[in-house]
């Protein structure tokens, strides 16, 4: 779900944004997921986040997922920088697929997604929250990273420009309102626990399932 460019390892898909934000996101996840055991990453993209977070959260099984076109890149990163608790990607399309299941546990008690809400169409954001809310157990954690508007306004000129670029590329995409996301979570039994500022005018939102 992230743009790619070449790097020192050209065989691996590469997102500079992932390199820039992963340490800051980890600081939030380290606390948010401290009591969790099995996390589903929705939209693993290039795979860079998964190989960074999994070895630093060794108590977790980290399950990647994305559309099939992204799987080769995710697997390449896992082959290059794998961890014992990191799992190969599952196919997961918010438009059509049921909630992913694995043979390793009875379900996920944590979900992480990065830069998804502004990329997919709003009905898919709604379905993501519905699925997460339906399948997380009480006390489960949903962490969402990305840029958001507050009070219907952009928080920076760069976010305004990014939103315009997104909508020119796909009219169904664009930055979402923080208030709409929180209301959507509440509709599906999840309460906001943390709204943490991140680099480059992004946020990490942490929700707990009631």
**CATH number of 21-209: 3.40.50.620, 3.30.450.20, 3.40.50.150, 3.40.190.10?**
3.40.50.150
| Predicted pLDDT of residue 9 | 46
| Predicted pLDDT of residue 123 | 98
**Whole-angstrom Cα distance, residue 182 to residue 174?**
17
> Which distant-in-sequence residues (6+ apart) come within 8 Å of 2 by Cβ?
15, 17, 18, 45, 46, 115
**Whole-angstrom Cα distance, residue 5 to residue 21?**
17
Report pTM: 0.94
Q: Within the chain, how many helices (H) and strands (E) appear?
A: 6, 9
What pLDDT tens digit does each residue of the chain (210 aa) get? 443 333 344 479 888 888 889 999 999 999 999 999 999 999 999 999 999 999 999 999 999 999 999 999 999 999 999 899 999 999 999 999 999 999 887 899 999 999 999 999 999 999 999 999 999 999 999 999 999 999 999 999 999 999 999 999 999 999 999 999 999 999 999 999 999 999 999 999 999 999
| Predicted pLDDT of residue 105 | 79
| Predicted pLDDT of residue 2 | 40
| Predicted pLDDT of residue 1 | 44
The SS3 of residue 24 is: helix
**Residue 103 DSSP symbol:** S
Q: What are phi and psi of 140, to 5 degrees?
A: -65, 160
**Whole-angstrom Cα distance, residue 162 to residue 171?**
13
Of 87, 59, 73, nearest to 7 (Cα)?
Answer: 73
């Amino acid at each position: 779900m992230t743009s790619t460019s070449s790097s020192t390892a050209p065989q691996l898909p590469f997102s500079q944004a992932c390199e820039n934000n992963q340490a800051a996101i980890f600081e939030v996840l380290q606390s948010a997921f401290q009591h969790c055991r099995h996390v589903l990453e929705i939209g693993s993209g290039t795979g860079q986040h998964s190989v960074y977070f999994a070895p630093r959260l060794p108590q977790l099984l980290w399950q990647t997922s994305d559309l099939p076109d992204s799987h080769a890149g995710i697997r390449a990163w896992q082959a290059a920088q794998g961890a014992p608790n990191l799992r190969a990607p599952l196919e997961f399309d918010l438009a059509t697929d049921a909630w992913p299941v694995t043979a390793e546990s009875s379900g996920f008690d944590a979900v992480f997604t990065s830069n998804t809400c502004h990329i997919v169409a709003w009905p898919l954001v709604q379905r993501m929250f519905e699925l997460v809310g339906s399948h997380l157990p009480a006390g489960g954690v949903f962490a969402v990273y990305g840029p958001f508007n507050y009070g219907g306004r952009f928080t920076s000129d760069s976010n305004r420009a990014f939103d315009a670029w997104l909508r020119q590329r796909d009219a169904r995409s664009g930055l979402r309102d923080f208030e709409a996301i929180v209301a959507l979570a509440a509709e599906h039994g999840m309460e906001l626990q943390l709204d943490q500022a991140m680099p480059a005018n992004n946020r990490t939102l942490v929700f707990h399932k009631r």
